[in-house]
Amino acid sequence: MKVIVCDPTDPEAIAAMQEAGIEVDVRDDITLEELGEIIADYDGMVVRSRTKVREPLIDKANNLKVIIRGGVGLDSIDVAYAEAKGIDVRNTPAASSNSVAELTIGYLLALARPIVQAALSMQEGKWEKKQMKGTELAGKTLGLIGFGRIGSLVGEKAHALGMDVLFYRRSSVDVDFAEQVSLDDLLARSDYVSLHVPHTPDTHYLIDAEAIAKMKDGVYIVNCGRGGTLDEVALYEAVKQGKVAGAGLDVFEDEKEERGKRFMDLPQVICSPHMGAGTSEATARVGEEVAQIAIEYAGD
């Protein structure tokens, strides 16, 4: 089996594939144009979020058996088209879940206590102790939109901090640390709202101006899930008007040009560059799962 690794991948994973007899070509800075010229030579490909696998590339992948996405989201791959061409699409959904969940909790804490703003103020030589008054998370209500691997982990951790946890998802599930409610009920009752849904036509702008209007005045919004599920223009206006007290964003609808730039004049909004899975532990787990999938296909 011959596999091309198109994005940065844990070296131990590459070594594991090679030890299993897989021919591995590491081209983790390859352009789509270059990839299109050689993809027909490979049985498998490994991608993260950088490499977009769309129909034109898939049409050139005459021998491809599997696309392995190191990570959770599959929105960078035309999955249905690939599968229609007989190509399996696999991902590593559990590997980075805890890392994203912990970042979400970090955002909740940083919104409750203005840690980022205080640190920046100190760097400017200021001592604004009285201006940095915050609140406690304990006793507040967290509403989770989406309650899969990551959402449920966030709920467990938030409950351990003393938060009351609500969640919305389409299918019913029973847990002892959170209450399942309708979306409207969640929006009306939550002090903090956190998104954990994939970006699909059904979830596009799931949180828009109308949804924000249903929330409490002074609500906080966190999105460490997927860009495009939150209408960023509506959020920007809601923060400026004071409806939303603050927000924490790790993902954005446009991560090429806009990249959250519209929020840079709002100190109430703290942002990071889609780093939810960016821990050494998650990288190792992702690599391990990627190698396992490739070895599985090599043995078929």
The pLDDT tens digits for 13-69 are 999 999 999 999 999 999 999 999 999 999 999 999 889 999 999 999 999 999 999
pLDDT in tens, 104-130: 999 999 999 999 999 999 999 999 999
Residues 130, 203, single domain; the answer is: yes
Q: How far apart are the first and last CA of the chain?
A: 10
Residues 233, 101, single domain; the answer is: yes
Residues 260, 211, single domain; the answer is: yes
Res. 233 pLDDT band, cuts 50 70 90? very high
- Mean of the pLDDT values across residues 187-193? 98
Amino acid residing at 201: P
Q: Which of 102, 226, 232, 289 is catalytic?
A: 226
Q: Which of 255, 258, 281, 296 is catalytic?
A: 255
Residues 38, 102, single domain; the answer is: no
Residues 50, 127, single domain; the answer is: no
pLDDT in tens, 266-286: 999 999 999 999 999 999 999
* Per-residue model confidence (pLDDT) at position 72: 79
* Per-residue model confidence (pLDDT) at position 18: 96
Residues 246, 217, single domain; the answer is: yes
Burial string for 264-276 (b: 16+ CB within 10 Å, else e) reads eebebbbbbebeb
**Residue 226 annotated to the active site:** yes
Domain count within the chain: 2
* Per-residue model confidence (pLDDT) at position 222: 98
Q: What is the largest CA-CA distance in the chain?
A: 65
* Per-residue model confidence (pLDDT) at position 27: 95
Residues 150, 261, single domain; the answer is: yes
Strands of 66-69's sheet in order across = 23-26, 2-5, 44-47, 66-69, 88-91
Residues 12, 112, single domain; the answer is: no
Residues 130, 171, single domain; the answer is: yes
Mean pLDDT of the chain: 95
* Per-residue model confidence (pLDDT) at position 62: 94
For residue 84 the two structure tokens come to 């229609």
Q: Which of 69, 274, 285, 289 is catalytic?
A: 274
Task: Please report the sign of the dihedral spanned by the C-alpha atoms of residue 230, residue 236, residue 237, residue 239.
Answer: positive
At a CB cut-off of 8 Å and minimum separation 6, what does 110 contact?
116, 248, 270
- Please tell me the distance from the alpha carbon of residue 247 to that of residue 20, in angstroms, as a whole number: 46
Checking if the pLDDT of 73 tops 80, the result is no
**Residue 69 annotated to the active site:** no
Checking if the pLDDT of 203 tops 80, the result is yes
- Which residue range(s) make up the domain with 65? 2-93+280-298
Residues 162, 284, single domain; the answer is: no
Amino acid residing at 35: L
* Per-residue model confidence (pLDDT) at position 188: 98
Count of CB atoms situated within 10 Å of the CB of 172: 6
pLDDT in tens, 130-146: 999 999 999 999 999 99
Which CATH number does the domain housing residue 82 bear?
3.40.50.720
Residues 134, 255, single domain; the answer is: yes
Residues 224, 247, single domain; the answer is: yes
**Residue 255 annotated to the active site:** yes
* Per-residue model confidence (pLDDT) at position 94: 84
